[in-house]
């Protein structure tokens, strides 16, 4: 994706440019009121000076969009060893990966295990650790499998 914009890098502070513009406008109004010859040329010169002081430049950029990130937390706690949960989780994970790939999402995986002292699954701790190094504006969502 290409983008173009006008960027200003003023040689003097903006209040000075606005003040000079107000002064030039007042002087041009007086010249117009008094009927002095050459006021259009004075107006052009004042405008050119103000534009030069503002120092505009055209900036063009070529940008490539970044893919969104899907955070997948895979539960590997003791509860996954019951019945056929491991197979169900593997099938769900495979389907999720196919869908994410079809939508152009980048997948980041993190595993969730049992908490110490039989405190259960610490999913939120694992999620906060997984999100710690990711840019927030690229995170599309989080899924716990």
Give tens-digit pLDDT for 39-55.
899 999 999 999 999 99
Model confidence at 118: pLDDT above 70? no
Provide the mean pLDDT of the chain: 87
Q: What is the pLDDT of residue 87?
A: 86
Q: What is the pLDDT of residue 43?
A: 92
Percent of the chain at pLDDT > 90 equals 35
The CA distance from 121 to 127, in Å, is 12
The CA distance from 113 to 144, in Å, is 12
> φ and ψ at 49, to 5 degrees?
-65, -45
Model confidence at 137: pLDDT above 70? yes
Most confident of 23-27, 91-95, 112-116, 125-129: 23-27
Percent of the chain at pLDDT > 70 equals 94
pTM for this model (two decimals) = 0.53
Model confidence at 11: pLDDT above 70? yes
Q: What angle do CA 97, 98, 102 make, to 5 degrees?
A: 115
Burial (0-12, 13-18, 19+ Cβ within 10 Å), 128: exposed
Give tens-digit pLDDT for 48-95.
999 999 999 999 988 888 888 888 888 887 777 788 888 888 898 899
């Amino acid at each position: 994706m290409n983008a173009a914009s006008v960027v200003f890098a003023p040689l003097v502070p903006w209040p000075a440019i606005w003040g000079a513009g107000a002064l030039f406008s007042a002087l041009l109004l007086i010249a117009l009121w008094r009927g002095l010859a050459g006021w259009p040329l004075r107006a052009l010169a004042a405008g050119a000076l103000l534009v030069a002081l503002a120092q505009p430049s055209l900036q063009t950029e070529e940008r490539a969009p970044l893919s969104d990130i899907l955070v997948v937390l895979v539960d590997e706690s003791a509860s996954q060893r019951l019945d056929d949960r491991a197979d169900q989780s593997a099938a769900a994970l495979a389907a999720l990966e196919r869908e994410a790939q079809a939508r152009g999402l980048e997948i980041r995986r993190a595993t969730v295990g049992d908490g110490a002292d039989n405190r259960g699954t610490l999913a939120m701790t694992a999620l906060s650790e997984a999100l710690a190094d990711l840019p927030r504006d690229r995170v599309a969502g989080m899924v716990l499998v």
